[in-house]
Structure 1
């Protein structure tokens, strides 16, 4: 008979599995600091030696890292998603910018459709909370917070789609966006009119999600990213025309 005796699982192994799942599901995020050893052992209900054994195992796997005097952190597992050479290639060619937007349109449209169907009530509360923060940040003159919350809003939708592969892939894509690899995000939030239009687009996406309108959510995401694509295209044309105008002006002064 194909039966074997059940072996009791070590406490440290249970801790490893729990922390791995928290990282996999995107609940523990790259760079996030774990609670101090005493607090964490109490939360998990295990001894500190068992916790240390689990932490050591996770460090060996490259999921956690220790910083002297600072504590234990989730490793930036997204850092290796793209090689440095590829990142430089993305940054050097405009083609990558528009392919990136096209990729987002497809992936985020699907994520919104899934979220409208699969998200729990709590998932939708998270999305609503992020949108409320974005709306509050809209009144500030400096657009930095609103731009950051824009990314958080889209990632909250991806989290609510409950697909861990999509989650980590899109987080790596957003990390490149935050670093300005594809384009400078402040371009999109530079003008008050543009900021207002972007906020209303996010409101439309949020409303569709809150009412579980899957088709409407996907269409709203596509419409939003169509707008982003057009705005970036217009900005690039403006910069090109301005460069030509500067050449003419310099030449006219020298005549």
Structure 2
């Protein structure tokens, strides 16, 4: 008969499953420090020996990492998503940039459509809160905060779509974007008119999500990333033209 004796679950197993779930859902993020052992055992209602057993199991499986004198951290499980050689190829070939944007257009459009249908009110409140922060950062001369919030905004939409595989895959893609593998976002955000347009596009995406309009959300994401692709194309042309403009200037100055 296909039945086994029911056994009470060890407390450490409950701790493991809870932390696994938080990592899987993207609530605990790579590099994030866990609370102290005392605080964690109190919050989870388990003894320290049970907690230590659970944390050791998670460390043995590469989900957590212990740093001497610093504590226990969520491991950088995204770091292995792309081999270093492939990252180098991404960084040195323009076609990878536009393929990346096309990929984001498809995946984030789907995520926005799903989020408009499936997001909870709390999910939508998170997206609204990030947009509010973007509005505040928009008034600053330095665009660094706004550029960071741009990534947070898009990842919040992916989180709200409640697809775990998509979440971790896109987090990995955004990490490469933050590191400037695909293109230098700071250049785009330094142009005032571009910043205005980008903020308007994020407002449009948010409005469609808050209205729970799946088609409108997907279309707003597509329009935004089409704009990003065109802005990058224009910037590349301008950069190439400037190279020749400098050559003409040097030639004329030397005559």
TM bracket (short chain)? over 0.9
SS in 2 for 1:46: coil
Aligned residue number for residue 66 of structure 1: 66
The CA distance in 2 between the partners of 1:201 and 1:188, in whole Å, is 14
Offset, 1:9: 1.3
SS in 1 for 2:80: coil
Aligned residue number for residue 225 of structure 2: 225
SS in 2 for 1:188: helix
Aligned residue number for residue 45 of structure 1: 45
Kindly report which structure 2 residues correspond to 1:69-84, keeping only aligned pairs within 5 A, or say none. 69-84=69-84
Offset, 1:57: 0.4
SS in 1 for 2:124: helix
The CA distance in 1 between the partners of 2:52 and 2:3, in whole Å, is 33
Kindly report which structure 2 residues correspond to 1:106-125, keeping only aligned pairs within 5 A, or say none. 106-125=106-125
Aligned residue number for residue 2 of structure 2: 2
SS in 2 for 1:7: coil
SS in 2 for 1:31: coil
Unaligned 5+ runs, structure 2: none
SS in 1 for 2:65: strand
Kindly report which structure 2 residues correspond to 1:166-177, keeping only aligned pairs within 5 A, or say none. 166-177=166-177
Kindly report which structure 2 residues correspond to 1:154-165, keeping only aligned pairs within 5 A, or say none. 154-165=154-165
TM-score, normalised with respect to structure 1: 0.98
SS in 1 for 2:66: strand
Q: Deviations over 1:135-158 (max 9, x none)?
A: 111111111100000000000000
Answering whether residue 23 of structure 2 is matched by residue 20 of structure 1, we say: no
TM-score, normalised with respect to structure 2: 0.98
The CA distance in 2 between the partners of 1:162 and 1:32, in whole Å, is 21
The CA distance in 2 between the partners of 1:150 and 1:76, in whole Å, is 22
Q: How many residues align?
A: 255
Unaligned 5+ runs, structure 1: none
Aligned residue number for residue 102 of structure 1: 102
The worse-fitting range, judged by mean Cα deviation, of 65-74 and 109-118 is 65-74
Q: Deviations over 1:108-153 (max 9, x none)?
A: 0000000000000100000000111111111111111000000000
The worse-fitting range, judged by mean Cα deviation, of 162-171 and 238-247 is 238-247
Aligned residue number for residue 91 of structure 1: 91
Answering whether residue 189 of structure 2 is matched by residue 189 of structure 1, we say: yes
Aligned residue number for residue 214 of structure 1: 214
